[in-house]
Amino acid sequence: MKTNAIRCFIAVAVPDEVKQYLSLLQKEMKNKGIKASWADRSRFHITLAFLGDTAVDKIPRIQTAIDEAIATQKGFDLRIGPFGVFPNRKKARVIWAGVHGDTTALKLIYRNLGDSLDRAGMPVPRKKFVPHITLARIKYPPRAKIMDELFSMAPEISSLKFHVEAVELYQSILYPTGAVHKKLLESKLLP
């Protein structure tokens, strides 16, 4: 890591009631025998851009990039959807909860944020944006039977709605016990 640099990312926060719901789903998955490194509920979020090791003096430029990306964006609603895995069911390495609802607004913020960061001289890799909340990381893909059980228990799109009203910058501090995320700044969407 560079001196005076922090590991950071830009994300949409997830409210406590959604975190509680996802924690219960994680518990059910554990009970099905899925062996994984389970994300702590305090780390649930929807990543928009991973910046990696970033010089602290760039934070004002990041703030400006976020503000530009959301300048005309009103708040919107999302819901938790079915589970998914990356990269695929046979080679699953990440289990996630999908995000549904006004994903058009979320995808627009993602695209605008990439453009704003490019203009700020801090380009981030662009890939197909799959809005999700990471629940677990898997070292060895589970047997097909366990994956079938996972997907059979996966809820349809949840009725649990949450309102997105801000985009936030987080510092990710790595410890042997896992990462701790510290909110550095928040940019509000229009009411």
Q: In the chain, what are the domains? A: 5-188 (3.90.1140.10)
In whole angstroms, give the CA distance from residue 190 to residue 124. Answer: 25
Tokens of 38: 């389970």
What pLDDT does 1 receive? 53
pLDDT for residue 50 is more than 60 = yes
| Weakest-pLDDT range from 89-93, 150-154, 181-185 | 150-154
DSSP for 88-126? -STT--EEEEEEEESHHHHHHHHHHHHHHHHHTT-----
Output the pTM of the full model: 0.92
Nearest CA among 100, 83, 91 for reference residue 32:
83
pLDDT for residue 14 is more than 70 = yes
